[in-house]
Structure 1
Amino acid sequence: MTKISKVSKFLGQIGLTVVLGSIVGACGGGSTPNSASSPAAGSGDYVVGMVLVGPKNDAGWNQVHFEGIQSAIQKVAGTKLEYVDKVNPGDRPNVKGSQVADDLIAKGAKFIIFNSDDFKDDALETAKKHTNVTVIHASGDYAWKDGKNFKNQANLGNIMGRMEYGKMIAGCTAALGTETGKIGYLGPLINDETRRYSSAAFLGAKYCWETYRKRPASELTFKVTWIGFWFNIPGKTLDPTKVADDYYNGGFDVVMSGIDTPEAAVQGKKAAEAGKKVKYVHYDLPTGCSLAPSICLGVPFYNWSIPYADALQKAKDGKYTSEFVWSGPDWQNLTNPTAGMIGFNPGQALGENQKFLDEFVKGMSSGSINLYKGPIKFQDGTDFVKAGETATEQQIWYMPQLLAGMDGPSK
């Protein structure tokens, strides 16, 4: 693959296992790291510091990052992990990500990972301040020489997965699973990444609705509701529980998650138990369908251990140089969490429609299906991709609007 190439009050309800002890809260603007290492990792002389925007056991974005770096630690001998989670305005209103990184580095970290788009400036600040430390920002584009925001910072790298493809597959399952033609998308805050992902989900849904369901696009509703952050912050965001309930109670029989936490699944399970014929599509975590197996259409997921282990080994060997990694799926092993960085696990609720999803994936793999071929319009009627053209990497990454046919604000 070319190298241009998201706490929840439901955690107790869904019985997630807490792998490590709870972190000590921030005090006086600082924070106390927790340690995690594996016997297979050796002496642990090389310290990896991770700054997580949410809780490490959120059944989504943060958990899959945490599990990914744990796996990477096991692969790279002589390393150990120090981490701080819940670094966000709700849990730690007076703490910056760069402050947390300073604390981790003071305790010996030589390799720092920031796991949220919100940390882009913290990552750059940390890299500039600690030039002998390798800094990785999951998301972001400061290391992308062909991007709009390139910073020539040798010890700063960006790693991101091409979840556009996972979201297209997820959107396809939503279209295959809906009976009302109404798909709700639970969105976080609004930025290029979230517009990119929700638009990709729409493109997948539209294609499979028209191609396999044989229904016109005019009969498909794809609505995005933005809550205002990656997860619920009471008093600051919309409550994703209420947003999910509003969808399920308002005729939307499929809800797709684009946030870090499992409200789409939890509220979907409650709606199904109340007799509603609903389904959901999870996000981030390979085991997301286990939250409500009978109504899960599938889950697109990340495998962060692959790029994390690669970058970590390079840094430990003194060979790391700034790179922008935007890594995609291994199309032949989509369900294998150790293959490509992007995967997809179909859910029970997909049923006999699995054959259509297989056909869709096969077409994407071969290139016979390319949903980024024009003409594609933005919501305001202007061109995203003109007829006869295919979207460039920059057009895809820097998504300024939602697409025509989507319901929801772009800004």
Structure 2
Amino acid sequence: MRLNGLLVKTINHSTLKSLSLIAVFGALLGSCGSPSANSPTSPTGASPESPAAGKDFTVGMVLVGPKQDGGWNQAQFEGIQTALKTIPGTKLEYVDKVNVADRPNVKGSQVADDLISKGAKFVIFNSDDFKDDALATAKKHPDVTVIHASGDYAWKEGKNFKNQPNLGNIMGRMEYGKMIAGCAAALGTETGKIGYLGPLINDETRRYSSSAYLGAKYCWETYRKKKAENLNFKVTWIGFWFNIPGKTLDPTKVADDYYNGGYDVVMSGIDTPEAAVQGKKAAEAGKKVKFVHYDLASGCNLAPDICLGVPYYNWSFPYANSIKKAIAGNYTSEFTWLAPDWKDINNPETSMVGFNPGTALGDNKKFLDEFIKGLGDGSINPFKGPLNFQDGTPFLKAGETATDQQIWYLPQLLAGMEGSSK
């Protein structure tokens, strides 16, 4: 259906059972939060029972990029589909590609208004860029539960807390996933040159790229037995979560520049699969290169022979928990920030953050497994001092462990990294 010029797509619960998504990579473009040894922040209260079948409850989703982008948006879209399969009597309405390039002069809050006019009582905004749209929507529609994937407005201990009862945040502690990804990159490089394909610069992307560097540095020194100064970790920011022609750097060219410039491992920090696509082309041309994908569990399928792995989010169960609370009428604002389930980080029912190792790891997978085990039991914590910021000022003193707030609001990249901090 079309509302106010926007294509709003409706999926009933029964349709979800038969719907099969096919990832469209390459030409399609899409979008887009702190580790510690402490237990993860979890939703409070038990989830209520699902509603009776036949009592439709509409969930709306505002996606910043295409729902089949091979990354962030696809993982979000598949996550909400999986969640709704577990809750009878629900249906989904969504609008994707809500960004300045695809929908000029259209705000996320306007899209949410359209979804709510069609009966949505629960609305998800899936990008950091939507933080103010989510807050505005929650204020305008106090009877609607609004979830912002990423963001910190519901975090009472954060810097930006807003006391809005119907607004919540859901995010995974991807810092763990990024440290694992960085370790995989360090285990896979032969040149010691790792390129990181970054989106725009903000607190989230600084802490993610820095997490990847810390994981790489630890495994480079510990398992590869090499000096930190011989590790070249470079971040290139394209300017947004995905390519906007004329507005951002072209991630295809950035990836090619890495592969052609001696960087034999490229890590993706953006929503789309250029690191994989261009890596495959470089490998076919005879270059010994590898890549680390991001966001989507099936990301290694793009080029399995050269994939070192993929850190990914599992959105289905935290979304399902919040939807059930909203249906029962007892949802209250909460900041949900979930770490991996260290008993099995790839358990789709319990772990929001996972890592699928790639075949290109080879025998080095045993070192990655050791690193993951250490992160889980707390014997390894790369966010422990001494650590300096990129400009040489102290971040953590010797023996000091970073707090959640210090990592979430990381103001600079870390010493040893190449790339802009602002």
Q: TM-score range by the shorter chain?
A: over 0.9
- C-alpha separation between the residues in 2 aligned to 1:402 and 1:44? 49
The question of 1:90 aligning with 2:101 is answered yes
Partner of 2:149: 138
- C-alpha separation between the residues in 1 aligned to 2:306 and 2:345? 21
CA contact (8 A) 1:37 1:73 kept: no
SS in 1 for 2:278: helix
Partner of 1:218: 229
User: How many residues in Structure 1 have an aligned counterpart in Structure 2?
Assistant: 386
The question of 1:38 aligning with 2:38 is answered no
In angstroms, what is the RMSD of aligned CA positions? 1.2
Residue-by-residue CA offset, 1:108-159 (whole Å, 9 max, x unaligned): 0000000000000000000000000000000000000000000000000001
CA contact (8 A) 2:13 2:88 kept: no
- C-alpha separation between the residues in 2 aligned to 1:317 and 1:186? 42
Instruction: State how 1:315-354 maps to structure 2 within 5 Å.
Output: 315-354=326-365
Query: Aligned residues: percent identity?
Result: 77
- Higher mean alpha-carbon deviation, 239-248 vs 72-81, is at 72-81
Partner of 1:99: 110
CA contact (8 A) 2:293 2:309 kept: yes
Residue-by-residue CA offset, 1:223-281 (whole Å, 9 max, x unaligned): 00000000000000000000000000000000000000000000000000000000000
Partner of 1:120: 131
CA contact (8 A) 1:43 1:78 kept: yes
Q: CA deviation at 1:32?
A: 2.7
Structure 1 stretches of 4+ moved >6 Å: none
The question of 1:168 aligning with 2:179 is answered yes
Partner of 2:408: 397
Q: CA deviation at 1:389?
A: 1.1
Partner of 1:5: none
Partner of 2:92: 81
SS in 2 for 1:186: strand
SS in 2 for 1:359: helix
CA contact (8 A) 1:37 1:70 kept: no
SS in 2 for 1:180: coil
SS in 2 for 1:57: coil
Partner of 2:46: none
The residue identity in structure 2 corresponding to 1:263 is: E
- C-alpha separation between the residues in 1 aligned to 2:350 and 2:259? 35
Question: Which of residues 201, 209, 227 in structure 1 aligns to 2:238?
Answer: 227
CA contact (8 A) 1:64 1:303 kept: yes
The question of 1:209 aligning with 2:220 is answered yes
CA contact (8 A) 1:44 1:80 kept: no
- C-alpha separation between the residues in 1 aligned to 2:126 and 2:273? 18
The question of 1:52 aligning with 2:63 is answered yes
- C-alpha separation between the residues in 2 aligned to 1:36 and 1:383? 51
The residue identity in structure 1 corresponding to 2:156 is: K
Residue-by-residue CA offset, 1:288-330 (whole Å, 9 max, x unaligned): 0000000000000000001100000000110100000110101
Q: CA deviation at 1:336?
A: 2.8
Partner of 2:158: 147
Question: Which of residues 371, 384, 396 in structure 1 aligns to 2:395?
Answer: 384
- C-alpha separation between the residues in 2 aligned to 1:335 and 1:151? 33
Q: CA deviation at 1:38?
A: 2.6
CA contact (8 A) 2:62 2:95 kept: yes
- C-alpha separation between the residues in 1 aligned to 2:349 and 2:189? 31
Question: Which of residues 253, 266, 269 in structure 2 aligns to 1:258?
Answer: 269
Partner of 1:371: 382
The residue identity in structure 1 corresponding to 2:185 is: A
SS in 2 for 1:310: helix
- C-alpha separation between the residues in 2 aligned to 1:85 and 1:337? 24
Partner of 1:360: 371
Residue-by-residue CA offset, 1:343-365 (whole Å, 9 max, x unaligned): 00000000000010011111111
- C-alpha separation between the residues in 1 aligned to 2:389 and 2:229? 16
- C-alpha separation between the residues in 2 aligned to 1:61 and 1:75? 22
Residue-by-residue CA offset, 1:175-218 (whole Å, 9 max, x unaligned): 00000000000000000000010000000000000000000001
SS in 1 for 2:6: coil
Larger RCO, structure (CA 8 Å, separation 6 or more): 2
- C-alpha separation between the residues in 2 aligned to 1:257 and 1:87? 22
Q: CA deviation at 1:44?
A: 6.0
- C-alpha separation between the residues in 2 aligned to 1:327 and 1:49? 23
SS in 1 for 2:76: helix
Residue-by-residue CA offset, 1:368-394 (whole Å, 9 max, x unaligned): 001111111100111221212110110
- C-alpha separation between the residues in 1 aligned to 2:197 and 2:65? 17
Unaligned stretches of 5+ residues in structure 1: 1-22
Partner of 1:195: 206
CA contact (8 A) 2:13 2:89 kept: no
- C-alpha separation between the residues in 2 aligned to 1:56 and 1:124? 23
Please report the TM-score for the alignment, with normalisation by the length of structure 2. 0.90
Partner of 2:421: 410
CA contact (8 A) 1:154 1:321 kept: yes
